[in-house]
Structure 1
Amino acid sequence: MKNKAIHGGDIYRNQVRLDFSVNVNPLGMPDGVEEALHEAVSSVQEYPDMEALALKESLAEKLAVPEEKLLFGNGASELLMAVVHALHPTKIMIPSPSFYGYQHAAKATGSKVIPLMLKEENGFLLTEELFTVLEQERPELLILANPNNPTGVLTSKEYLKQLLEKCRKTNTFLLLDECFIEFCEGQDTMLSEIGKGDRLLLLRAFTKSFAIPGVRIGYLVGSTEELLIRIREQLPEWNLSVFAQKAGQACLSSENEAYLTETVRHVKKERQFLTEELQQMGIRIFQGEANFLLFYCEENLYEKLLRRGILIRDCSNFEGLSQGYYRIAVKRHEENLQLLEAIKECLKP
């Protein structure tokens, strides 16, 4: 393993004034969510609802799915691990580059990872090659992210529907990580395919969309209740704190619809701004649809920016990427300006 952090957000071991390494909502936590967290203090002397019934009811109404198709976890990472332990697949197919947590979960169960390298010259897009390898290898589980992390590439719903049909034929479960989907214009979610067969699992979180990574609250939407029961058996009791449950309910308030709409508008505008400015500096940008940007620069930007108190994500430890690949979050305009100015200084001869 390379000597860089596996994940972003390592502000505890670095002197950081601006953190561009984590991809949370640049607009910050909504006021209503902060208020809910304060109010939750009065409930800490009680055990949290083990079933999170109030939160489940609110989310089911929001997503227009039956309550029995929902399962909550202490962040998406806990649910990812629970899925892999519940299915205990002999083989897991994971396209790369992608989120390290998928590999980590596979190692926890001793599953063999079937790699599929996404090609830079093809814009890191999924192609027909995935169908071919899926047919050949017939893994019990395929893990994908849409949009992908760290590339930001958004796969079309039409492609994913074809893929899901292929998974049914190969008896492969498709775990689709949609944790960044709410930052994408159009939000091409696969929610409408839940219930059409028994092979699809959607993984989501409140963490990114509402800027509450410290609260830890994720959820699964599953095709069948039986599958979610198997996964639930892998989770500890009372895994969702009173803070997480109250914050989750506040996130689902209709008051936040305008907040999410503004988020998409802001991310699109600032992502384009960052893209154009970095390209003018001669930096190679990889086009994506998420709230972050992947780029390549021969300069050692990670260390140089860190000396200036700015943390970015060094992507050299992603499978399929090497030294010189970096990921930055899309933040507020004034923060983005500070990053750009610092990069300009780093690139000076």
Structure 2
Amino acid sequence: MLERYGHGGDLLTAQETFGLPKEHFTDFSSNMNPLGPPACVREIVAEGWKDIHKYPDPAVRALRGKLAHKYGVDPESILVGNGAAELIDLIVRVLKPERTGLARPSFSEYEEAVHKTDGKLLNIPLLAGNGFALAESELDRVMSHTDLLFLGHPNNPTGRLIAGDVLDMLLRSKRRLVLDEAFMDFIEDEQSHSMLPLASQSRDLIVIRSMTKFYSIPGIRLGFMVAHPELIREARRLQVQWSVNDLAQRIGCAVLEDTPFEEASRRWLREEKPWLSAQLGSLGLEVVPSDVNFLLFSFPKATGMTAANAQQLLGQQGILLRDASHFEGLDERYCRVAVRLRADNEKLVAALTMILDAFPVSGGRGGVHHEA
């Protein structure tokens, strides 16, 4: 199982599992922007070693200033962290919720953070029949029993934004709400959907953002949180000192100014996501509509194929996908794949075609025919 440690992108486990060098894998299991990292990252890494003997800025002032300018918020409402994962864990330790409402399926880090503080979980099911959209009726059922809602916006692994009317209802409720906007950068009209500016003024809303996905720097670890300054001060008090290293701070400042990279990334996704979604659909796969840079799909029952089967068969060819059955609320037929560049996406489609045609189906061995 590639998700030995709960996430995609584990190339060492892939190497141990399939016996191929890490460099030989085409990784669809990790949702990184294939256009990145931006060129400025290489330059900073090449020169940054000269200052490694110095401590990083413990207050991350330069990067907080850049973020404040970009998003139009007070720098005192921003806390930068060692990736969004640190901030997810940190905000739950600050709030100490007794009962947290989680949409399912969703990112496993939310649940793990709540369990570390001995909190209880209430499930808000995202239903396949509703396109995995967050339904107001399901929220109504649990909201009065929770003191925190922790939701992905867009959600991982479904790729769905929370609808505007549902967001409005959540904000009107005055319930404490954490929105994980780790993939919001990939949204074409981000400003129309992000709740980040509102979070800096609200005592009920916290927004967490990742910089690793869009700028493709997961090895650096960088994210930030926006909330009311009083809450930010409390979170900073609990944060490990020098959590964000000097290279990460410099890289964060530089990539925020790379407007051409942002524009190129959105052009790529605008073209490539619908192409890949259509190709997967043409194979008979059930593809969930996505607002971001990854696609959740399931194999029809008639094929007999499971995500574990597909992961094993494709892994032997050097192609990695995410077995999404490990997300609570999804069964053994669900996979998640990142949208990559056209040549890689064509490679994925060809490999899926091959394994579907060759895989045994119910009623005996045989191929599943797909129209060309």
Give the TM-score range, shorter chain.
Answer: over 0.9
In 1, are the aligned partners of 2:73 and 2:197 still within 8 Å (CA)?
no
Between the aligned residues of both structures, percent identity stands at 36
Higher relative contact order (CA 8 A, sep 6+): 1
> Counterparts of 1:151 and 1:62 in 2: how far apart (Å)?
28
Name the counterpart of 1:238.
242
**From 214, 219, 222, the counterpart of 1:209:** 214
In 1, are the aligned partners of 2:200 and 2:229 still within 8 Å (CA)?
no
The list of structure 1 runs, each at least 4 consecutive aligned residues, that deviate by more than 6 angstroms after superposition, is: none
> Counterparts of 2:136 and 2:151 in 1: how far apart (Å)?
15
| Residue 178 (1) aligns with residue 186 (2) | no
Superposition pairs of residues 157-172 of structure 1, within 5 angstroms: 157-166=164-173, 168=174, 172=175
**From 198, 204, 209, the counterpart of 1:199:** 204
> Counterparts of 1:313 and 1:164 in 2: how far apart (Å)?
33
Instruction: Tell me which amino acid in the other structure corresponds to 1:124.
Output: F
Name the counterpart of 1:295.
297
Instruction: Tell me which amino acid in the other structure corresponds to 1:329.
Output: A
In 2, are the aligned partners of 1:157 and 1:189 still within 8 Å (CA)?
no
Structure 2 CA distance for partners of 1:177 and 1:130, relative to 1, 3 Å: same
- SS of residue matched to 1:6: coil
Name the counterpart of 2:233.
229
> Counterparts of 2:255 and 2:289 in 1: how far apart (Å)?
29
Instruction: Tell me which amino acid in the other structure corresponds to 1:227.
Output: L
Name the counterpart of 2:277.
275
Deviation, 1:196, is 4.5
Deviation, 1:4, is 5.2
| Residue 51 (1) aligns with residue 59 (2) | yes
Deviation, 1:307, is 0.9
**From 103, 108, 124, the counterpart of 1:95:** 103
> Counterparts of 1:97 and 1:161 in 2: how far apart (Å)?
22
In 2, are the aligned partners of 1:157 and 1:190 still within 8 Å (CA)?
no
**From 40, 58, 69, the counterpart of 1:32:** 40
TM-score after normalising by structure 2: 0.88
- SS of residue matched to 2:224: strand
> Counterparts of 1:193 and 1:181 in 2: how far apart (Å)?
15
In 2, are the aligned partners of 1:4 and 1:317 still within 8 Å (CA)?
no
In 1, are the aligned partners of 2:124 and 2:139 still within 8 Å (CA)?
no
In 2, are the aligned partners of 1:173 and 1:200 still within 8 Å (CA)?
yes
> Counterparts of 1:213 and 1:29 in 2: how far apart (Å)?
10
Instruction: Tell me which amino acid in the other structure corresponds to 1:133.
Output: R
Name the counterpart of 1:133.
141
Structure 2 CA distance for partners of 1:192 and 1:125, relative to 1, 3 Å: same
Deviation, 1:195, is 4.2
Instruction: Tell me which amino acid in the other structure corresponds to 1:71.
Output: L
> Counterparts of 1:220 and 1:209 in 2: how far apart (Å)?
16
Deviation, 1:345, is 1.1
Name the counterpart of 1:342.
351
Instruction: Tell me which amino acid in the other structure corresponds to 1:285.
Output: V
Name the counterpart of 1:155.
162
> Counterparts of 1:3 and 1:156 in 2: how far apart (Å)?
30
TM-score after normalising by structure 1: 0.94
Name the counterpart of 2:364.
none
Deviation, 1:158, is 3.9
Deviation, 1:157, is 3.4
Tell which deviates more after alignment, 123-132 or 276-285. 123-132
Structure 2 CA distance for partners of 1:132 and 1:96, relative to 1, 3 Å: same
In 2, are the aligned partners of 1:305 and 1:342 still within 8 Å (CA)?
yes
Q: How many residues were matched structurally? A: 341
**From 290, 307, 312, the counterpart of 2:316:** 307
- SS of residue matched to 1:94: strand
Structure 2: runs of 5+ lacking an equivalent: 16-21, 358-366, 368-372
1:45-65: per-residue Cα shift (whole Å, max 9, x none)? Answer: 011110011111111111110
Deviation, 1:13, is 1.5
In 1, are the aligned partners of 2:101 and 2:143 still within 8 Å (CA)?
no
> Counterparts of 1:12 and 1:73 in 2: how far apart (Å)?
25
In 2, are the aligned partners of 1:206 and 1:251 still within 8 Å (CA)?
no
Deviation, 1:38, is 2.0
Name the counterpart of 1:325.
334
Give the number of the structure whose alpha-carbon radius of gyration is greater: 2
> Counterparts of 1:5 and 1:278 in 2: how far apart (Å)?
28
In 1, are the aligned partners of 2:124 and 2:142 still within 8 Å (CA)?
no
In 1, are the aligned partners of 2:2 and 2:8 still within 8 Å (CA)?
no
Structure 1: runs of 5+ lacking an equivalent: none
- SS of residue matched to 2:312: helix
- SS of residue matched to 2:335: strand
Instruction: Tell me which amino acid in the other structure corresponds to 2:171.
Output: L
